[in-house]
């Protein structure tokens, strides 16, 4: 079985968060979702667990940071092209997200940063395969 990644994100309004992530084109695995959590399927190996603050706190060993005012993690997703980066960021903006800074274009790498409605920081980036293999 391939290695899988589960990123846990605290949210204040689970239905709003579900709608945001579904608006990005990702799906919800209802088998691993309930009134306090939803499993967002990004790919066959990447999942976001969006959790109410109470549910998130039940797993945490430290106080919950407020992602609206503090950055603890920036979760970056690779994209197959610059256009795919833009499409994901634009979908985020259409579904209640914000874009706290302009796109970053370094020639061989292009990325955009956006936040979900709770302030969790997400990034989409494309990197020229020649730069990766170079």
Question: Domain 73-134, what fold?
Answer: 2,3-Dihydroxybiphenyl 1,2-Dioxygenase; domain 1 (3.10.180)
The residue to which tokens 């990447």 are assigned: 46
* Predicted model pTM: 0.93
Residue extent(s) of CATH 3.10.180.10 domains in the chain? 1-59, 73-134
3-state helix/strand/coil string of 42-99: CCCCEEEEEEEHHHHHHHCCCCCCCCCCCCCCEEEEECCCHHHHHHHHHHHHHCCCEC
* Beta bridge partners of residue 10, listed in sequence order: 51
Q: What are phi and psi of 89, to 5 degrees?
A: -65, -40
Whether 110 contacts 85, CB under 8 Å: yes
Q: Tell me the per-residue pLDDT of 109-128, one tens digit each, with 9 for 90 and over.
A: 999 999 999 999 999 999 99
If pLDDT is split at 50, 70 and 90, which confidence band does 7 have? very high
Q: What is the mean pLDDT of the chain?
A: 96
What CATH number should be reported for the domain whose range is 1-59?
3.10.180.10
The pLDDT score that the predictor gives to residue 132 is 75
């Amino acid at each position: 079985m391939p290695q899988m990644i589960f990123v846990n994100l605290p949210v204040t309004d689970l239905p709003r968060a579900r709608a945001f992530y579904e608006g990005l084109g990702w799906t919800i695995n209802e088998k691993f979702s309930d009134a306090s959590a939803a499993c967002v399927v990004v790919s066959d190996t990447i999942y976001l667990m969006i959790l109410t603050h109470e549910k998130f706190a039940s797993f945490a060993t430290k106080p919950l940071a407020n992602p609206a005012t503090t950055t603890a993690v920036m979760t970056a997703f690779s994209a197959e092209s610059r256009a795919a980066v833009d499409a994901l960021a634009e979908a985020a903006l259409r579904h209640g997200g914000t874009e706290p800074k302009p796109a970053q274009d370094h020639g061989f790498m292009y990325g955009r940063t956006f936040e979900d409605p709770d302030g969790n920081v997400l990034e989409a980036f494309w990197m020229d395969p020649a730069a990766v293999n170079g």
